[in-house]
Amino acid sequence: MTLGAFEREYLELLAVGTKGDWKDKLFFEDDENRVEYMCYHMNHNPGTDETHWHIWKFTYSVSGGVSRIEGDLVGSVDGRAGLDWA
């Protein structure tokens, strides 16, 4: 499932509050095709091992709605699961 522009903008506003001056954005989905991680960088086309990504993690309730947004934490996209999430 590919996220539509409106869904991405909605999740961005939930996490950040306003649109930042981000040059690159990556989205990772869980097994149910819901955004699990949202990763933003100030530079265009950085490597996923670069350690200055701003990363948010989304948790969902039983009903399917967003119940928690953690972040932003700073780290690499490759190491996102190992960041200090609750």
Q: Identify the band that residue 77 occupies on the pLDDT scale cut at 50, 70 and 90.
A: very high
Residue 63 lies in a domain: yes
Q: Is 55 strand, coil or helix? A: strand
Please count the structural domains in the chain: 1
pTM above 0.85, yes or no: no
Please give the pLDDT value at position 69: 93
Q: 86 lies in a domain?
A: no
Is residue 62, in this structure, part of any structural domain at all?
yes
What's the confidence (pLDDT) of residue 1? 45
Structural domain contains residue 74:
yes
Q: Which domain holds residue 34?
A: 5-81
Binning pLDDT at 50, 70 and 90, where does residue 64 land?
confident
pLDDT digits (tens, 9 = 90+) for 14-53: 666 655 678 899 999 999 999 999 999 888 999 999 999 9
Work out the end-to-end distance of the chain between its first and last CA atoms, rounded to an integer number of angstroms.
Answer: 27
Give the chain's radius of gyration (CA, Å).
12
